[in-house]
Amino acid sequence: MVKFDTKRVIIAGGGTGGHLFPAMAIGETLEKDGMQVKYIGSKNGIEAKGNYIEKNKIELLDLYGISRSFSLSSFMKNILLLIKVIKSYIKVKNTIDSFKPDLVIGTGGYSCAIPLYLAQKKNIHTAIQEQNVLPGLTTKKFSRKSSIVFTAFDESQKYLNNCNLFLSGNPIRKKIKEKNYIEAKKAYNLNPDKFTILIIGGSQGARSINKHFKKNITKYIEKGIQIIWQTGNNSLDIISDINNDNILIYDFIDDIENAYAASDLVVSRAGATAISEILFLKKPSILIPYPYASDNHQEINAKVLEDRGAAVMIKENEFNSSLLEKKIFELFESKESMNKISSNASKLSSPNASDVIKDKIKEIISC
């Protein structure tokens, strides 16, 4: 039931964790401040597959990306998508009319374009939260008419003109917080005195990274290194025969906050959410950007960290087992290098991003 004596905000975005988790972080902070929050996501996104958001707080749209291949099946798929867009338009219009938001904020993904479009058409305040250095398509399309665009990196300014930019950093979910290093290792039954690597290739894993560790796992074991390893669903076949108490393997890590806490070094793709969490927790990291990310945005993200000494980057086209092994062992053997990266990561972190965004939203809807 909508309470009209409180401020109301619709948060639209999802599809991947990179768009959903910032939406959740913002929503958690707004609700804590007494606002009513409604989410709009996609039936085909991560938000529909887990218990991330209470069912009565989210509307799911049946949307997916446009197929760009030239075939009859792609043509028919796009015709079906057009029908789904029309149905989603009506669904969002009804949601806006009944919920009567004071502001609609988009965090990216297929599900945020229609809510932003309708809100701007109805002269409702809109905001955008851009997680990456390089703005996504939705940000480019709706930024000029938005009341404010929250960015995570200074470098985004050169891509966005004639709009109201505000450097907020990326909001972090409340479950991602600094936990005790020793206790986290004990929770995983790991030796608190041993160097531990966390491998995360996004929710889908990273096949090239997985192949490296599969091939070279003995070298790490011989060095006394422990590994917490998120393989993703698509690479379990690669590592199915690994059996060692120092190597913990998961297709997906639900308690990622504990995995971060237990780790000394993170090897990861360079999605905005992973980067933001790594910076927030001041973790030394080796970033291997996903080469097929739209507009190569992961490499652009990682380059910012590398340039500021806050991470080590290895491009996919330069990636080989010997190079990754070399970088890992260099950090393993140099506490000074690890501490320096951690210190620089701390300087790029935005631990209060959610509160900063909340305060700016309150300013806008109070006008």
List, for residues 104-115, the tens digit of each pLDDT value. Answer: 999 998 899 999
Q: At what angle do helices 335-348 and 321-332 cross, to 10 degrees?
A: 100
Tell me the pTM. Answer: 0.89
Query: What gap in Å lies between CA 245 and CA 141, rounded to an integer?
Result: 50
Q: So what's the pLDDT on residue 118?
A: 98
What is the distance between the alpha carbons of residues 220 and 241, in angstroms, rounded to a whole number? 16
Distance between CA 346 and CA 365 in Å, rounded?
Answer: 32
Exposed (0-12), middle (13-18) or buried (19+): which is 216, by Cβ within 10 Å?
Answer: middle
- The CA distances from residue 337 to 169, 282, 294, in Å, are 25, 13, 32
Cβ–Cβ < 8 Å for 197, 328: yes
Domain 181-348 has CATH 3.10.20.740: no
Question: Could you give the residue ranges of the DSSP H alpha helices within 61-101?
Answer: 72-99
Of 3.20.20.60, 3.40.50.2000, 1.20.140.10, 1.10.40.30, the CATH number of 8-172+351-366 is 3.40.50.2000
Q: Which two tokens stand for residue 248?
A: 């913990």
Residue ranges of the chain assigned to CATH 3.40.50.2000: 8-172+351-366, 181-348
Q: How many CB atoms lie within 10 A of CB 22?
A: 30
Report residue 348: phi and psi, to 5°: -90, -10
Whole-number pLDDT of residue 237: 60
**Which parts of the chain register pLDDT below 50?**
none
Written as six digits, the tokens of 321 are 């087992």
The span from the CA of 324 to the CA of 316, in Å, is 11
pLDDT at residue number 251: 84
Q: Is 141 exposed, middle or buried (0-12, 13-18, 19+ CB in 10 A)?
A: middle
